């Protein structure tokens, strides 16, 4: 893990893992607005995934689907571990949730219960 990581990344991870998806979005958006380098889409991908979970909590399935698809597309450009974050496990968990939501939406069902993946750090 890199020594120079922005402490807001850790705050955003903690917020996400505590189910504070809107807060995670806000915290990481601060970094995203400042970062114009190669990590910009990494932050945006996590922001979109977090916003998707916020939409899921609100029962807005199509919003969650769109945000997760967009976030996953951005995160797919990064390696399995990026900035110390275990993206491989996280991305797989989001993909699994996306499949569940897509099936529920196609069937016209309500919002299913999900096992939300955690954002974990590899130290």
pLDDT digits (tens, 9 = 90+) for 53-106: 999 999 999 999 999 999 999 999 999 999 999 999 999 999 999 999 999 989
Do the Cβ atoms of 38 and 71 come closer than 8 Å?
Answer: no
Q: What is the pLDDT of residues 27-46, one digit of tens each?
A: 999 999 998 999 999 999 99
Do the Cβ atoms of 23 and 15 come closer than 8 Å?
Answer: yes
Distance of CA 105 to the CA centre of its chain: 20
Which residue has tokens 């990064």? 78
pLDDT of residue 1: 41
Which residue has tokens 């995203």? 32
Residues pairing with 81 in the sheet: 86
pLDDT at 2 over 50: no
pLDDT of residue 4: 67
pLDDT at 116 over 80: yes
Give residues with Cβ within 8 angstroms of 75, minimum separation 6.
42, 45, 46, 49, 87, 90, 91
Q: Which domains does the chain have, with CATH numbers?
A: 7-106 (1.10.3450.10)
Give the strand pairing for 85-86 and 81-82.
antiparallel
């Amino acid at each position: 893990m890199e020594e120079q990581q922005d402490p807001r990344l850790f705050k955003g991870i903690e917020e996400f893992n505590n189910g504070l998806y809107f807060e995670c979005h806000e915290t990481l958006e601060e970094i995203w607005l400042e970062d114009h380098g190669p990590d910009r889409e990494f932050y945006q991908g996590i922001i979109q995934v977090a916003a998707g979970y916020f939409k899921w909590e609100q029962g807005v399935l199509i919003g969650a689907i769109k945000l997760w698809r967009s976030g996953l597309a951005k995160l797919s450009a990064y390696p399995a571990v990026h900035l110390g974050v275990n993206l491989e496990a996280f991305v797989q968990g989001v993909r699994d949730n996306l499949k569940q939501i897509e099936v529920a939406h196609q069937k016209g069902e309500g919002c299913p219960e999900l096992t939300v993946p955690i954002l974990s750090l590899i130290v």
